[in-house]
């Protein structure tokens, strides 16, 4: 696809998306994107694509038996989006004991206070993000995946629907598209990744154009923003290279279960169109029930040279949470 063709395609896509978004203001028309293809009651989204067959296919990719962490550790000083908090305190030194005249057993706890589901390497729950609609009377509500109204599923102590505890266990085929390697360096903030870039990665990495991503697979995008995670922690949330809406559409058509990246929001920030903030978030999570894995550390994986691997991740099942931290890993 030429650059001009791609650009045209993108402008059209953007217009279509703006049209659809406007439609969503009208609940009658908003049904373009809900109920979901898995029914009006579904809370799992693309997780429905998983099953024993995807596990078995993934297991066949295991060759060397090496495991590679795809996440960053969590510590005070890590990047935090404005308003969020991370604290770890050790209640005691030690916390408990000694117990038992002979064993004199002693133990320690740690205590955290943090937006646990939305810091560092984390996966968003399907209830994390939505689109605010304005009713004719001027009042507003927010629609999330499957047309759920946030006002109906939200509570002060957790989401009543679409919390991260509903997410499945992920053990499925993963594919890395190394855009950083394509560019030869980490992409700068604001650089939009297009379908063309992704196609070039597919070529460059020797993947099969017609079969590089299958339903239920995971696709991970290395932008290079992860290389600045600890070294530029204070500015890490100021902007990022990331997917434009066209790239998200390109990916969603292939039905992955997870789209992950080494940036904080998958999307490019600042956005291409200032009226469309985090459009890939809306497109992928809200419309297609695809899970986003953000803040990944893809450097070690990239160094292995492997484009295909098992992606394994089991979310921390805090009921009603909007996301999950944890250490996703690849098996090679």
- The answer to whether the CB of 320 falls within 8 A of the CB of 159 is yes
Task: Say if strands 329-331 and 67-69 run parallel, antiparallel, or are unpaired.
Answer: antiparallel
Tokens for 70, please give them: 């795809």
User: With respect to its own copies, which residue has the nearer C-beta, 206 or 274?
Assistant: 274
Beta bridge partners of 307: none
Smallest separation, CB 84 to its own copies (Å): 7
Cα–Cα distance for residue pair 293/122, rounded to 1 Å: 6
User: With respect to its own copies, which residue has the nearer C-beta, 218 or 331?
Assistant: 331
Smallest separation, CB 324 to its own copies (Å): 9
DSSP three-state, residue 100: coil
User: With respect to its own copies, which residue has the nearer C-beta, 3 or 102?
Assistant: 102
For tokens 């500015």, name the residue.
235
User: With respect to its own copies, which residue has the nearer C-beta, 177 or 292?
Assistant: 292
Smallest separation, CB 173 to its own copies (Å): 12
Task: Say if strands 170-178 and 308-313 run parallel, antiparallel, or are unpaired.
Answer: antiparallel
User: With respect to its own copies, which residue has the nearer C-beta, 5 or 140?
Assistant: 140
Neighbours of 324 (CB within 10 A): 26
Plot region of 138 (φ>0 → left; ψ -120 to 50 → alpha; else → beta)? left
Q: Residue 238's closest CA among 265, 212, 261, 259?
A: 265
Total length of the chain: 332
Cα three-residue angle 123-200-198, rounded to 5 degrees: 25
Cα–Cα distance for residue pair 155/281, rounded to 1 Å: 22
Q: Residue 131's closest CA among 1, 278, 291, 300?
A: 278
Tokens for 239, please give them: 């902007």
User: With respect to its own copies, which residue has the nearer C-beta, 78 or 181?
Assistant: 78
Angle between helices 195-204 and 245-252 (to 10 degrees): 60
Smallest separation, CB 240 to its own copies (Å): 15
Angle between helices 3-25 and 195-204 (to 10 degrees): 130
Smallest separation, CB 249 to its own copies (Å): 15
Smallest separation, CB 252 to its own copies (Å): 16
- The answer to whether the CB of 185 falls within 8 A of the CB of 224 is yes
Smallest separation, CB 134 to its own copies (Å): 8
User: With respect to its own copies, which residue has the nearer C-beta, 182 or 290?
Assistant: 290
User: With respect to its own copies, which residue has the nearer C-beta, 40 or 112?
Assistant: 112
User: With respect to its own copies, which residue has the nearer C-beta, 172 or 307?
Assistant: 172
Tokens for 102, please give them: 């002979």
């Amino acid at each position: 696809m030429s650059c001009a063709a791609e650009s045209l395609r993108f402008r059209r896509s953007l217009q279509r998306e703006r049209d659809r978004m406007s439609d969503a203001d009208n609940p009658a028309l908003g049904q373009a994107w809900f109920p979901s293809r898995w029914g009006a009651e579904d809370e799992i989204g693309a997780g429905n694509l998983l099953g024993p067959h995807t596990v078995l296919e993934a297991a066949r990719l295991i060759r060397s038996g090496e495991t590679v962490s795809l996440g960053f550790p969590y510590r005070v000083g890590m990047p935090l989006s404005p308003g969020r908090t991370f604290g770890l305190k050790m209640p005691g030194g030690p916390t408990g004991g000694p117990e038992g005249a002979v064993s004199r057993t002693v133990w320690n706890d740690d205590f955290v206070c943090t937006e646990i589901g939305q810091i560092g390497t984390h996966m968003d729950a399907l209830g994390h993000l939505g689109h605010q609609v304005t009713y004719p009377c001027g009042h507003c509500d927010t629609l999330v995946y499957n047309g759920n109204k946030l006002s109906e599923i939200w509570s002060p102590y957790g989401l009543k629907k679409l919390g991260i505890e509903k997410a499945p266990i992920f053990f499925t085929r993963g594919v890395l598209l190394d855009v950083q390697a394509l560019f030869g360096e980490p992409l700068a903030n604001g650089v939009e990744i297009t379908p063309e870039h992704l196609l070039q990665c597919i070529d460059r990495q020797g993947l099969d154009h017609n079969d590089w991503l299958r339903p239920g697979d995971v696709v991970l995008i290395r932008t290079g923003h992860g290389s600045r995670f600890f070294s530029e922690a204070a500015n890490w949330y100021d902007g990022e290279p990331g997917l434009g809406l066209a790239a998200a559409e390109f990916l969603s058509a292939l039905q992955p279960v997870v789209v992950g990246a080494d940036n904080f929001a998958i999307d490019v920030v600042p956005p291409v169109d200032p009226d469309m903030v985090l459009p890939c978030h809306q497109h992928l999570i809200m419309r297609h029930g695809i899970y986003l894995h953000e803040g990944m550390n893809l450097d070690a994986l990239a160094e292995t040279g492997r484009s295909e691997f098992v992606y394994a991740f089991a979310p921390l099942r805090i009921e009603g949470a909007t996301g999950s931290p944890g250490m996703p890993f690849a098996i090679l």
